[in-house]
Amino acid sequence: MTLSWKTAWAGLVRRGPSIVRRLRLGSGLVLFSYVSFHFLNHSLGNISFEAMEQGAVVHEWVWRSPVGTLALYGAFAIHFSLAFWAIYIRRHLRMGWIEGLRICLGFLIPLLVLQHALFQRFAYTYFDVHQIYRHVLFNIWVSNPQVAGVRQITLFTVAWLHGCIGLYLWLRVKRHFHLVAPFLLIVAFLLPTVALLGVFQGARQVEAKASTDRAWLADLRKTGAGANPQAGATVRTIILWSWGGYAGAFALVLMARGVRTLVERRGGTIRIIYPDGRAVRIPKGLSVLDASRRAGIPHASVCGGRARCSTCRVRVLLGSESLAPRSPAETRVLAPLGADRSVRLACQVRPIADISIWPLVPPEMTVRDQDRLNEAETGSERFVAILFVDIRASTQLVESRLPYDVVFILNRFFEAVGSAIIAAGGTPNQFIGDGMMAIFGSEIPAQEACRQALEAARLIDWHLAEMNRTLANELQQPIGFGIGIHAGDVIIGTMGYREHAQTTAIGEAVHTASRLQDLTKEYACQLVVSEIVGATAGTALDDFASHEIQIRGFSAPLTIRVVGSAAALPPYDRPSPSGETDRSTDPAAPIYAQST
């Protein structure tokens, strides 16, 4: 029983942000419909104020019905409470101008609408005061245009702008929004303009009628809120109390934020490590996007952190095991992209231990740019073989030569190694100082990937022997090399920044292959290859010495084979489409010779 409660609570916590977002959206849509309906009613003033009153009958029939009342007041209560919740839950108040404007306008609405709403609805319900359009137009626009009129225009503008911004922030991340945006913009300008004109026209007609028809004016004064002083006094008292309560609620939210900060400081902090090595320290429980914003690190977030756009996504390079699983909202956004486990939404993931991340989207990315991202940029997980090769005695090479000679020799080395890798079927991926990393298997099965990697090692030996012969007069001693090969699951994806981005592999298999290359110095051999590569390739490596080593971060030891000379590896006879042995990777084939 305890377990089920815990499970239910954990589920609720995980779904909490998505429930809040849906409630905010749903209640906002109800309120926006109410305002739009109200504006349509105002527009009838362009015909006559009597037309406005007839329209109001329909308006009241909808919004004063039990269902309409529940929907309207329920939506207001939810939306208003969630506004305070949003202020509490935000870890910082840094935000884009449009988001800031939306929030400020939203908090102005209750202050502006209170008097109008109380006279229209509260007085009607508790004092049986039924104000229709002629009362409101007379009281506001004829009797008190400088104060009440200005307040109504401000309310009119503030409520409409707040709703339109909310709708825009919701819709702009939708795929085809840019197609309907011009039409929505036209409606957003036309509807309030026509409504306001309707109000002015209606007010002019009421004023004209009041000045020409004294009996009609006397009748008007006998009804409405002005005819019931008790209702007016009660409403004014409620307004004062409400403003006090409003200020108190603000103070409480700000105090709660302060208490939370103190509690979080006691709970400890963690580090978010960025690709440039910067580490941002934040309290546990803050999102990665919060960390970026706090530290002023540009981070794409088109939807403002609402788990709608995916532009904030990051690859978690280290520490992903400490993260909670993806929430339903996160899954809904990332699943269509085919993003693997290590990709998370920075706005949703709240680390409780140090993590290292790699933002996948440039900070200035827009939604339309986002649509153009292809799968390679999103990243995919694959089993590949990774080969690291490094030149030996590079220090002596540099010390005894002019820089130009060093560059020339290194380029010959890369050419020899690179052509061997390509001939075997792999892809030279990164040049790291005087070494190179190559990937085998980004598009072929695991067995062939491992076979190609072993074949590449054999060809590298042959190509470098050729190079040493060709450059014998230039070199004091032949250039030696060390190779490490390992295979495993890695993330293949495009990483980097703008034009500096490139497709590469990241993951433990890459680190391990690099470590095996280092071990060639210890074992004084040309190649160290993990047993898994031979086993996957189906190539017997029993003739080579076997060792068990411990790689940092792994609990189980790794079995390796130490190969003194890569030339001793069995050749890989790749079957050609015709079924005959493909000799294109035979050392006898003049691959390097041709390329030089």
Residues numbered 447 to 506 that lie near ligand FES (CB under 6 A) are none
Please name every residue paired with 504 in a beta bridge, in sequence order, or none if there are none. 493
* Residue 342 is a binding residue for ligand FES (CB under 6 A): no
* Residue 339 is a binding residue for ligand FES (CB under 6 A): no
Select from 41-49, 235-243, 297-305, 372-380 the region that touches ligand FES (CB under 6 A): 297-305
Which of 140, 210, 272, 303: binder of ligand FES (CB under 6 A)? 303
Nearer CB in complex with ligand FES: 343/566: 343
Q: Are 133 and 91 in contact (CB under 8 A)?
A: no
Which of 308, 382, 412, 451: binder of ligand FES (CB under 6 A)? 308
Reduced to 3 states (helix: H, G, I; strand: E, B; else coil), residue 279 is: strand
User: How many residues belong to the site for ligand FES (CB under 6 A)?
Assistant: 13
> Cβ contacts of residue 242 below 8 Å, gap of 6+?
110, 114
The distance between the two most distant Cα atoms of the chain, rounded to a whole number of Å, is 119
Using alpha carbons, select from 299, 271, 297 the residue that is nearest to residue 284: 271
* Residue 17 is a binding residue for ligand FES (CB under 6 A): no
DSSP H or E run through 464: helix 446-470
Which of 158, 345, 560, 566: binder of ligand FES (CB under 6 A)? 345
CB of 498 to ligand FES, least distance (A): 20
Q: Are strands 502-506 and 527-530 parallel, antiparallel or unpaired?
A: unpaired
Tokens of 478: 């032949």
Would you give the DSSP letter of residue 47?
T
* Residue 309 is a binding residue for ligand FES (CB under 6 A): yes
Which of 196, 225, 312, 490: binder of ligand FES (CB under 6 A)? 312
CB of 458 to ligand FES, least distance (A): 48
The rounded distance, in Å, linking the Cα atoms of 116 and 396 is: 87
Nearer CB in complex with ligand FES: 231/302: 302
Nearer CB in complex with ligand FES: 302/439: 302
* Residue 512 is a binding residue for ligand FES (CB under 6 A): no
> Cβ contacts of residue 262 below 8 Å, gap of 6+?
none
* Residue 137 is a binding residue for ligand FES (CB under 6 A): no
Helices in 213-307 by DSSP H: which ranges? 214-222, 229-267, 288-295
Q: How many CA atoms within 13 Å lie on the side-chain side of 110?
A: 21
* Residue 316 is a binding residue for ligand FES (CB under 6 A): no
Reduced to 3 states (helix: H, G, I; strand: E, B; else coil), residue 175 is: coil
Using alpha carbons, select from 346, 258, 348 the residue that is nearest to residue 297: 346
CB of 374 to ligand FES, least distance (A): 19
Nearer CB in complex with ligand FES: 139/310: 310
The rounded distance, in Å, linking the Cα atoms of 369 and 448 is: 36
The rounded distance, in Å, linking the Cα atoms of 270 and 313 is: 20
* Residue 349 is a binding residue for ligand FES (CB under 6 A): no
Nearer CB in complex with ligand FES: 365/495: 365
Nearer CB in complex with ligand FES: 314/491: 314
Nearer CB in complex with ligand FES: 312/532: 312
Nearer CB in complex with ligand FES: 307/417: 307
Which of 301, 342, 370, 394: binder of ligand FES (CB under 6 A)? 301
CB of 309 to ligand FES, least distance (A): 4
Using alpha carbons, select from 146, 27, 30, 36 the residue that is nearest to residue 83: 27
Nearer CB in complex with ligand FES: 224/359: 359
CB of 171 to ligand FES, least distance (A): 14
Q: Are 389 and 460 in contact (CB under 8 A)?
A: yes
Residues numbered 397 to 456 that lie near ligand FES (CB under 6 A) are none
Please name every residue paired with 484 in a beta bridge, in sequence order, or none if there are none. 388, 528
Nearer CB in complex with ligand FES: 319/359: 359
DSSP H or E run through 492: strand 481-495
CB of 366 to ligand FES, least distance (A): 12
* Residue 292 is a binding residue for ligand FES (CB under 6 A): no
The rounded distance, in Å, linking the Cα atoms of 144 and 25 is: 36
Which of 109, 136, 347, 453: binder of ligand FES (CB under 6 A)? 347
DSSP H or E run through 487: strand 481-495
Select from 268-276, 296-304, 361-369, 457-465 the region that touches ligand FES (CB under 6 A): 296-304
Nearer CB in complex with ligand FES: 290/434: 290
* Residue 310 is a binding residue for ligand FES (CB under 6 A): yes
CB of 282 to ligand FES, least distance (A): 17
CB of 330 to ligand FES, least distance (A): 8
The rounded distance, in Å, linking the Cα atoms of 95 and 103 is: 10
* Residue 305 is a binding residue for ligand FES (CB under 6 A): yes
* Residue 307 is a binding residue for ligand FES (CB under 6 A): yes
Nearer CB in complex with ligand FES: 95/558: 95
**What size, in residues, is the chain?**
596
Nearer CB in complex with ligand FES: 52/309: 309
Using alpha carbons, select from 515, 529, 441, 544 the residue that is nearest to residue 485: 529
Mutual angle of helices 446-470 and 403-424, in 10-degree steps: 140
Nearer CB in complex with ligand FES: 310/419: 310
Would you give the DSSP letter of residue 130?
-
Which string of x and - marks every residue 96-125 that binds ligand FES (by CB under 6 A)? Answer: ------------------------------
Nearer CB in complex with ligand FES: 39/274: 274
Distance of CA 174 to the CA centre of its chain: 14
* Residue 302 is a binding residue for ligand FES (CB under 6 A): yes
Tokens of 246: 């409003």
Reduced to 3 states (helix: H, G, I; strand: E, B; else coil), residue 428 is: strand
Tokens of 579: 């079924």
Question: Across 203-255, where does the E strand assignment appear?
Answer: none
Binding residues for ligand FES, per CB under 6 A? Answer: 301-303, 305, 307-312, 333, 345, 347
